[in-house]
């Protein structure tokens, strides 16, 4: 799959990442993880503290799939608003999902401080503003559920917003203690720690076939070697759909730029993460070296040539949208990209289990908070493999139903 095109920023922040060998023999393991990006790395890290023999394979160089274009805003609210999730799945399920995402950010923070590579994790508040009058109504509904369940959030008026920022909006949620991270450094840091604990990692090792047995599954590599495993986690991001199509998933395209370094952020209160209620929406964050990542302008295409033909136009449009909010901050795009972006029709990430793939778990951490979702789903799958179950499988299994806890 042609996942993205453009001039990428994150790889320039980690010039000499570790290399891993190509698999050149037949091996056996307890758990095979297919994919060494965000989902695979978090699974490997979670499982490295167990007694299981774990193997990670990736068909590319580690971290050079969608992880290399992840804009890495860490937020517990997502594309589908909390009140909408309540309407679809019931209040208990929607709140549990949101709490698990909040917990995932906490866990990412704890892990970050224990890695040998600094992943540049930083707590940031979020400003989630109403794009229009309809958005104001949504913000109010969202605030009511968040306050009811004790999330640390404030409701800002138009005057309060304009006192903090260089723009005025009808209303906004001010969400405390979200975060940001460098996804490439976090990815490599996780796998470096997992390797120290015995996880075997192979890159440039493509899986191109499998054979299911009574108690194990054997996967075949392009180089004609085999990996026999008791459990398998397909953590291949959007390319997981090449192993198994999932009717609840969809692919579209999104765009992002990274600007020149900026000296003065006076008009940008606390360099908060910023996004809006419009769909598709514009979002933005800053980086450790004081650049600005601006993304959005999603386009309903899953054809890479069509996506890529629009990159230059989208690049200029993202700058225009930024200038509407921050006319006094002078920026230009130094890096830019167009990439596939996946979501689910019902608004929640998924763990897929299918009869034709026995003892296999598909991670579909699709949506705007993929890195956060991956952390939550990795922890759940670890418990399912080691303990036999996890209560949140009722939410994330592909056969979930509406109003789960009614």
Q: Is the pLDDT of residue 234 over 80?
A: yes
Distance CA 169, CA 158 (A): 5
- The pLDDT of residue 368: 87
End position of a domain, from candidates 312, 328, 344: 344
Band of pLDDT at residue 156, cut at 50, 70 and 90: very high
- The pLDDT of residue 404: 58
Cβ atoms < 10 Å from Cβ of 241:
19
Residues 6+ apart with CB under 8 A from 148: none
**Residues 176, 281 within the same domain:** yes
Tell me: the pLDDT tens digits for 327-361? 999 999 999 999 999 999 999 999 999 999 999 99
- The pLDDT of residue 68: 96
What's the average model confidence in pLDDT over 2-8? Answer: 95
First to last CA, the chain: 40
**Residues 176, 263 within the same domain:** yes
- The pLDDT of residue 403: 53
**Residues 202, 284 within the same domain:** no
Strands 333-344 vs 282-286: parallel, antiparallel or unpaired: unpaired
**Residues 216, 358 within the same domain:** yes
Please give the residue range of the domain that contains residue 327. Answer: 125-180+250-344
Q: Is the pLDDT of residue 274 over 70?
A: yes
**Residues 264, 158 within the same domain:** yes
Q: Is the pLDDT of residue 155 over 70?
A: yes
Tell me: the pLDDT tens digits for 359-394? 999 999 999 899 999 999 999 999 999 999 999 999
**Residues 327, 362 within the same domain:** no
Are 295 and 317 in contact, with CB atoms under 8 Å apart?
no
* Phi, psi of 9, rounded to the nearest 5 degrees: -90, -50
Nearest to 59 by CA among 202, 235, 218: 202
- The pLDDT of residue 26: 98
**Residues 314, 212 within the same domain:** no
Q: Is the pTM higher than 0.85?
A: yes
What's the average model confidence in pLDDT over 225-254? Answer: 94
The DSSP line for 181-218 is --HHHHHHHHHHHHHHTT-EEESS--EEEEEE-SS-EE
Band of pLDDT at residue 405, cut at 50, 70 and 90: low
Nearest to 350 by CA among 330, 331, 360, 364: 364
CATH code at position 193: 3.50.50.60
**Residues 256, 329 within the same domain:** yes
Band of pLDDT at residue 398, cut at 50, 70 and 90: confident
């Amino acid at each position: 799959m042609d996942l993205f095109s453009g001039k990428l920023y994150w790889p320039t922040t980690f010039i000499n990442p570790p290399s891993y060998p190509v698999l050149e023999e037949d091996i056996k393991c307890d758990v095979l993880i297919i994919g060494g990006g965000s989902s695979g790395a978090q699974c490997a890290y979670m499982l490295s503290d167990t007694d299981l023999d774990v193997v990670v394979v990736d068909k590319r160089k580690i971290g050079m799939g969608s992880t290399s274009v992840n804009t890495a805003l860490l937020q517990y609210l997502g594309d589908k608003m909390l009140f909408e999730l309540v309407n679809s799945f019931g209040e208990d399920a929607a709140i549990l999902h949101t709490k698990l995402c909040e917990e995932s950010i906490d866990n990412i923070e704890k892990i970050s401080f224990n890695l040998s590579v600094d992943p540049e994790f930083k707590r940031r508040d979020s400003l989630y503003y109403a794009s229009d009058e309809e958005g104001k109504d949504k913000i109010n509904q969202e605030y009511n559920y968040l306050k009811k369940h004790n999330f640390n959030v404030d409701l800002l008026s138009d005057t309060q917003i304009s006192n903090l920022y260089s723009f005025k909006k009808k209303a906004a949620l001010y969400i405390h203690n979200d975060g940001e991270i460098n996804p490439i450094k976090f990815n490599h840091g996780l796998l470096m720690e997992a390797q120290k604990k015995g996880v075997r990692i192979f890159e440039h090792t493509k899986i191109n076939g499998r054979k299911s047995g009574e108690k194990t599954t054997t996967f075949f590599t392009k180089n004609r070697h085999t990996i026999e495993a008791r459990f398998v986690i397909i953590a291949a991001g959007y390319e997981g759909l090449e192993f198994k199509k999932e009717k609840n998933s969809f692919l579209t395209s999104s765009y992002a730029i990274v600007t020149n370094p900026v000296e003065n952020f006076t008009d940008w209160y606390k360099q908060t993460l910023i996004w809006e209620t419009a769909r598709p929406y514009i979002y933005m964050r800053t980086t450790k070296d004081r650049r600005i990542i601006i993304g959005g302008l999603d386009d309903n295409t899953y054809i890479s040539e069509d996506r890529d033909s629009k990159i230059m136009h989208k690049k200029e449009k993202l700058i225009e949208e930024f200038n509407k909010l921050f006319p006094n901050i002078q920026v230009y795009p130094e890096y830019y990209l167009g990439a596939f972006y996946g979501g689910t029709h019902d608004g929640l990430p998924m763990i897929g289990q299918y009869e034709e793939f026995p003892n296999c778990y598909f991670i579909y951490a699709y949506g705007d908070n993929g890195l956060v979702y991956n952390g939550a789903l990795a922890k759940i799958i670890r418990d399912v493999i080691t303990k036999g179950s996890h209560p949140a499988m009722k939410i994330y299994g592909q056969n979930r139903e509406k109003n789960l806890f009614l």
